[in-house]
Chain A
């Protein structure tokens, strides 16, 4: 009878084991993680995802070294500034309004190539260049036209919010918050979920109690639970770790302990089926201990739903964090995060669409990149696909 483990272990390690210790110096054994990495590298989506994720990390953590605007500083005079891209819309602003048109010409030195009230192509480009070259002067010229107002400035390339915080700086430091909350809360929730799910699925005696506990957590109303957590633990956590780390821990734990239940139920369902499969029965029949069966046979086979839960979990954590600060249970109001930025921007969707566009893109693309990385990792970890 063959060892059922062999079907699950990568061929390379078996070869190395068969070769014996003597040949190790001659042909160094390739660690199986190198194979995983090789496979991962061949997955195009995963590589693009990883590259983008690194870009986002650099943007959030190295960006503030380059763009040295303090996210906490309010440039109150510049409040409500639009992003520089708004300059492209200048043609629309100058259309059909003689005065605005003349202002565009005056400010941008636009070529008047089409009789009255039309900027024409040349004029449009002239006005646009003028807007990019001297945004402040251009904004001043447009100040009197209420509904056609353009307010731009290179000092705030992505604009500012209603009180004058720089959007680019917020996007960067908000990224730090959102990524760290998203990743840690997701890891915590996946960890709890997998643990509970595997244990419940594998050990029949614990199934009942663990699943009833899952039911309990599913039924708990989130908001009062969070209120109670904040009430009980905020003071002690902030005195132990300082106010910001204290709240970080509180938020991560709050999101983690309220979002592990679906993972647990999914994993348990899969484990219930898996443990009746032949290779598990075989492993058990030769007296493999449960811990080893779970590590070698069960976990690798429930990786793909876990991966999906993990990618969805990041999105969930980022958005839940914003909902929490919206409800006054999260970070203080002057603490940036993408979710907050998006939440605050929704009111201004029509006026300053970039206020929802950039944080929305940042969240979506981060989630997307993590998803592709997860896909690649799943393929790379699957010995059946690897090496094909």
Chain B
């Protein structure tokens, strides 16, 4: 059993490269004055364990750090740890039951005390406390125990062989917090420690000097930061509020800010703003895919409580892959990218588009729109318009679909365009958009949640954190279908169910070799794609903008975008 290092093993090549690049801009700590960042969705706390929202994780990553982070290519980089443990270097046990991390020497908290293995263990205990409501507890799944071998060495033991052991205390979602500061804040007391949650003591390049929830954060450079001459900025102003367009304007047009995050605005508007010449737009691709889910169960309101449940029976026509295939063929994905995403999107035919080793190439036919082909396909299958109203019938049921998504300008454009294309193949579409807080809210009493799926087709984006797709691909298990008995919880939104698929998921859980895992993931992806229960549209990236005077930005979608903020500097 051998773990390859292509993806997992941390070669430091890239970090070396980026360091060499930063070398040219060395100097005293704090030499470049103030860095102004605008996040139009403002962070509400600095403790990522209490919030779980992306904006909070991003802000906290300036202060709190983990053993290893992912760089902009998705490779793991040792951060607080000396190196990435692997089976080869003995850091991961042969039976995959434990992993041993060693902290770098001389890492200090910003208050001047040393970081020890006890802090790491405390973090685990803090997050797994059943009363705490920790948002990142799934990162500690399968952790049986953690022990301090010595002050700098932590051994994590799992309750079952863990083919991918780099979840606990790795990445921006599960950073190490200081035991001394949070000792009295465990369990139900966690939210009461407001000062600690708003101003955690960390190991990162910056220290919180003032935190105003959902408004603004000011940071100072950390005097005890382990790397000399870093960070280059003395203070960081981290402003929140407004919307994506105004944030983009503040960086690209008025130059009031240096960095803006999550700018999903019209590509032509963005291009015009960038043409002003003050800033640059940058994108990074992770695993986010904007997709359509085709309900495999019947959402007919006449079914009452059995709507969209397995018990309510299959969908009258969407379970037939021919219909799904025709719907997919009618789509010009490149045009969707051009209109809605610009540089922040790529055409994809897979629900698992990255990392590269896991990406299938078997479905690439979908890249080209073929309305004539879709029409021919439906004609051939005998799905034709029998009553002359322009809508085809499937065994007497007209192909009329209710298509819902969350409210968002880009999604509404895509909805309108898809409606037109589908009209051209004889499918009539009714559009509905639902406020995001309701759609993604999961309130079992609301009929409009994406889990309830009281519609025929729905569109949204999903992804997985980190680089290992095992948990993500397990979303489509038969027994993970949402229903009233589970309070509509469950990740198998489109209610896909296949024995073969379940078998692949089981196989994945026991396979360790990277190539074998990749092969299984590709098989899983292809099985889903060929069922046409899920139609991928766009591989979405994070879009951000930075001032041209800001150097060192290496935007990553695998970790936080600010993962290497310690290396940022002012170019002039």
Contact = CB atoms under 8 A, between A and B. Distances in A.
Note whether A and B form a binding pair. yes
Interface of A: 72-74, 76, 79-80, 146-147, 162-163, 165, 227, 231, 235, 239, 243, 326-329, 332-334, 344, 347-348, 350-351
A347 B339 contact: no
Given A328-B433, A347-B245, A74 B420 contact: yes
Given A162-B339, A235-B447, A329-B435, A74 B265 contact: no
Interface string B423-450: 0000000111111101000000011100
B435 A231 contact: no
A245 to B, nearest CB: 14
Given A162-B339, A231-B447, A351 B268 contact: yes
Interface of B: 245, 265-266, 268-269, 272, 275, 301, 335, 339, 406-407, 409, 412-413, 415-417, 419-420, 430-436, 438, 446-448
Chain B binding surface SS class: helix
Contacts of B438: 227, 231
26 contacts: A73-B420, A76-B417, A79-B339, A146-B275, A147-B275, A162-B266, A163-B339, A163-B417, A231-B438, A235-B301, A235-B447, A243-B430, A327-B407, A328-B407, A328-B435, A329-B435, A332-B432, A332-B433, A333-B412, A333-B416, A347-B245, A347-B265, A347-B266, A347-B269, A348-B266, A351-B269
A76 B431 contact: no
B268 A162 contact: yes
Nearest to A247: B432
A344 B409 contact: yes
Given A332-B431, A351-B269, 11 more contacts: A73-B420, A76-B339, A147-B275, A231-B447, A235-B447, A333-B412, A334-B431, A347-B245, A350-B269, A350-B272, A351-B272
Contacts of B409: 344, 347
B181 to A, nearest CB: 37
B560 to A, nearest CB: 27
A74 B434 contact: no
A334 B407 contact: no
Contacts of A231: 438, 446-448
Contacts of A165: 416
Given A327-B407, A347-B245, A351-B268, A332 B430 contact: yes
B413 A163 contact: yes
B435 A334 contact: no
Given A231-B448, A334-B416, A327 B431 contact: no
Contacts of B448: 231
B335 A74 contact: no
Given A79-B339, A163-B339, A333-B431, A74 B272 contact: no
A344 B412 CA distance: 11
A333 B406 CA distance: 11
Contact of A333 (B265, B268, B415): B415
A231 B447 CA distance: 7
Contacts of A76: 335, 339, 417, 420
Nearest to A350: B272
Please name the 6 residue pairs, one residue from A and one from B, whose CB atoms are nearest each other, closest first. A328-B407, A333-B412, A328-B435, A332-B431, A328-B433, A334-B416
A326 B265 CA distance: 15
A122 B272 CA distance: 31
Contacts of B275: 146-147
Contacts of B416: 74, 163, 165, 333-334
Task: Kindly name the residue among A79, A162, A344 whose own CB sees the greatest number of chain B CB atoms within 10 A.
Answer: A162
Interface centre among B272, B420, B432, B448 (most CB of A within 10 A): B420
B564 to A, nearest CB: 31
A60 B349 CA distance: 43
